[in-house]
Amino acid sequence: MTLPVTAPTVPELDLSFGLPPALDGRNGTNRARGGHLQIAADTDLEAVRLWLAEYVGSLHTLRSYRKETVRLLLWATQALGKPLSSLTREDFLLYEQFLAAPTGDWADPARPRRGGARRLFDGPLSEQSRHQALGIVSGLLSYLVSAGYLAGNPLALRRRTGAAARRTRRVERYLDHVLWDHVLASVEQWPRVTARDQQHYERSRWLIRLLYHTGLRVSESANAKMADFYQRRGKWWLHVIGKGGTEGEVPVSAALMADLARYRVFHGLAPTPLGNEAAAAVMSVAGDPHKHLTPAAVYLLVKEVFRRAADALATSDPAGAATLRRASTHWLRHSAASHQADAGTDLRFIQKNMRHASIQTTGIYLHAEDDRRHTETVREHVDIVRPGS
């Protein structure tokens, strides 16, 4: 007896609207015919729910993907009168234009937030937001092609333009070595008069080092456990569950292990983590080892670190202070990759450490190469064009 496979019961998987039979996708012109279907889906909504179910381990990602999927489904069925499984490349050209300038009805604040007549937009999407939206949709279509549900992905034909084509530009949202050293020194000046002060200091001190040395994303650090630190062949590693449940492992330095030991001892734990520990890698505000920080709490803690560091730098280095006020958790991930590249770490290793799908993404952190090029170019110019010549 074969039991039907359905998506888990998760609120974010409830798309909260139905489609008329003519637009449910059963007879979509892009449906794959004659192959072996890998998912138990007859309609577009059933197929989309199963795709979304792949992301139940990351609610932030799930909600973002659900939002883009709902936008596309409602636009396709209401504006074009087509199911998702009948959309062509030409339709997606229209959709991209629509994202750049949604009509009044779609962004009408009088419309409800839920249901088939819901308001989907607060206004036009920026170029970066459009690129992100179409990237998410392309991921959905590729999944449905691999599942044998669709015959092809119309967005696979999309030409890289604008933000996508400029991705080789060096990332600028990172801290240089001087600013990073200042941040570390600034934390050491925090007050530690009360037990609460001491606890806040130790947690913040450990958190920024964890994010910097491992390059973790904010959600990854919030969900990390002490048991995720493990030894192999005498070397320490950190097991990471990243975007979409993708697993990876990051090398852990002796310096970070010493910082971890300090944090653990402060909370009454043994210096070295055990393989079966359920304790959070970064504990809750009350110091409960069994309660994880939320991603929002991690974000706010790091913003506080940067704000205090900026305040200490406001008089002596206003530009550096302004940079720190803009900085956030993801800047530590960028700083980790940039500083590894500056140190000459093999680009392939940085790619694995950051868990980038493409090495081209990793290449945007090669600032040292740009610095050397600038120095050599300027020096040559000075040698040729001498004062008074």
Q: In which residue are the tokens 């040729």 written?
A: 384
Cα distance between residue 34 and residue 28, in whole Å: 14
Amino acid at 50: L
pTM: 0.55
pLDDT recorded at residue 182: 95
Cα distance between residue 132 and residue 193, in whole Å: 46
Give the pair of three-digit tokens for residue 293: 């920080």
Cα distance between residue 340 and residue 65, in whole Å: 32
Backbone angles phi, psi at 83, to 5 degrees: -80, 160
Asked whether 108 and 114 are in contact (CB, 8 A), the reply is no
Given strand 235-241, what is the order of strands in its sheet? 229-232, 235-241, 247-251
Give the pair of three-digit tokens for residue 154: 């119309």
- How many alpha carbons lie under 13 Å from residue 327 in its C-beta half-sphere? 30
Measured over the CA atoms of residue 171, residue 172, residue 173 and residue 175, the dihedral's sign is: positive
Amino acid at 83: P
pLDDT recorded at residue 3: 41
pLDDT recorded at residue 177: 87
Asked whether 74 and 23 are in contact (CB, 8 A), the reply is no
**Domain spans in the chain, listed from the N-terminal domain onward:** 11-165, 177-375
* Closest of 307, 301, 336 to residue 323, by C-alpha: 307
- As averages over each run of 10 residues, the pLDDT of the chain (389 residues) reads 45 61 90 85 90 80 86 89 93 90 70 61 80 88 90 80 47 80 95 92 95 89 91 91 78 93 93 86 79 87 94 92 90 85 78 68 54 56 50
From its phi and psi, is residue 272 left (phi > 0), alpha (psi between -120 and 50) or beta?
A: beta
What are the CA-CA distances from residue 218 to residues 28, 260, 290, 328 (Å)?
A: 40, 18, 18, 10
Cα distance between residue 179 and residue 158, in whole Å: 40
pLDDT recorded at residue 107: 64
Superfamily name and number for 177-375:
Intergrase catalytic core (1.10.443.10)
CB atoms within 10 A of CB 219: 21
Cα distance between residue 140 and residue 84, in whole Å: 11
pLDDT recorded at residue 156: 82
